[in-house]
Amino acid sequence: MTNIQEIIDRIQMLDPLPSVATRILSLAERPDRSLSEIADLIAYEPSITANLLKFCNSAYLGLSRKVDSIHDAIPLLGLDHLVELVLVQSASVHLKTAQDGYGPAEGDLWRHAAYGAHVAQILAQKYKLLDNQHRVFTAALLKDIGKQILGRYSGFASEQINRLVQAQGYSFDEAEKRTIGMDHAELGAFIVEKWRFSDKMISIIRNHHLSDAAARDDLETVIVYLSDMICTLMGLGAGSDGMADRCSGEVLKRLNLTARDLHTIIAESTAQQRRIENLLEWASHSGRRCCG
């Protein structure tokens, strides 16, 4: 079994998210949030501002006029879209590379994260979590950040993990913990704690597979779990752990979701595929400049 402390120490190797991303997220969740305050935060980050304005003025968005400042961009994009752009751009550098032992090729984990965040946002709106949708979006985006570290160690154990999953019926996270000593959700919680995210965000990421029964009573955590399951059903870059995920009937009952509801959510996400892929392409090119 790998030395757990050695794995945790590897967190030091990860570049943190830009502080502006965490500050924007915190501010966006406040009921008394000010669009001007958020614009001011972004405006003092030259690389983020430059990349956002370039995106705003791209042919893809097709805005009716050129945007010369973040303050101009907010009324045209809307607060939700602007926060989404900053968070996706900030997270891209951590999720684009392939992870040995998990199966996904380069970019697949990143694609799964981005689509999962989009699905989580749809669910948050459906269940009227309007004040918390940015937190749900971010938790879904970063829920697998632990794979960035753990994947470097699981290559040697992948055969044993897959044997436990396929032959003995373990879930992937159970097999991961038995083989390595911890799962990627636990490590992800350590990472976002180091990045000074809220206790709530830490809890959602730690429990996004609902391994703790108490987490099944928390709507935000359940939504992040379900967004992961829906992306797996869509075949979107889940990697080898996706093969072991089982969409819980308990969760569907908790949210009063039917098979028809799931098909509707999948159809809505599919309809937004071009938008999400364009966002991924933009973030992929701009993330390294922003965060490196």
Residue 13 inside a domain? The answer is: no
Q: What is the pLDDT of residue 97?
A: 57
Q: Is the CA virtual torsion 194, 108, 287, 124 positive or negative?
A: negative
Highest mean pLDDT among 7-21, 55-69, 145-159 belongs to: 55-69
**For residues 11 and 191, is the Cβ–Cβ distance under 8 A?**
yes
pLDDT band at 113 (very low <50, low <70, confident <90, very high): confident
**For residues 235 and 246, is the Cβ–Cβ distance under 8 A?**
no
Task: Decide if pLDDT at 94 tops 70.
Answer: no
Angle, helices 184-194 vs 147-154, to 10°: value is 140
Considering its fold, how many domains does the chain have in total? 1
Q: What is the pLDDT of residue 244?
A: 43
Q: What is the pLDDT of residue 119?
A: 92
CA distance to 7, 84, 100, 155, per residue, from 149 (Å): 7, 24, 10, 12
The three-class DSSP label of residue 128 is coil
Phi then psi dihedrals of residue 106, to 5 deg: -55, 130
Highest mean pLDDT among 58-62, 69-73, 279-283 belongs to: 69-73
Q: What is the pLDDT of residue 289?
A: 46
Average pLDDT over residues 162-188: 83
155 vs 233 pLDDT, higher one: 233
User: In angstroms, rounded to a whole number, what is the distance separating the alpha carbons of residues 32 and 26?
Assistant: 12
The answer for residues whose C-beta is within 8 angstroms of residue 242's C-beta and 6 or more apart is 172, 232
The three-class DSSP label of residue 115 is helix
pLDDT band at 69 (very low <50, low <70, confident <90, very high): confident
> Cα torsion at 59, 62, 66, 72 (round to 10°)?
-120
CATH code at 108? 1.10.3210.10
User: In angstroms, rounded to a whole number, what is the distance separating the alpha carbons of residues 141 and 287?
Assistant: 14
Residue 277 has a CB neighbour count (10 Å cut-off) of 13
E strands, 206-278, are none
What are the pLDDT digits (tens) for 226-274?
998 888 888 775 555 554 455 467 788 888 888 889 889 989 888 887 7
Q: What is the pLDDT of residue 120?
A: 92
Range of the domain at 70: 4-8+18-291
What are the pLDDT digits (tens) for 270-281?
888 777 887 777
pLDDT band at 147 (very low <50, low <70, confident <90, very high): confident
Task: Decide if pLDDT at 225 tops 50.
Answer: yes
188 vs 29 pLDDT, higher one: 188
101 vs 158 pLDDT, higher one: 158
288 vs 26 pLDDT, higher one: 26
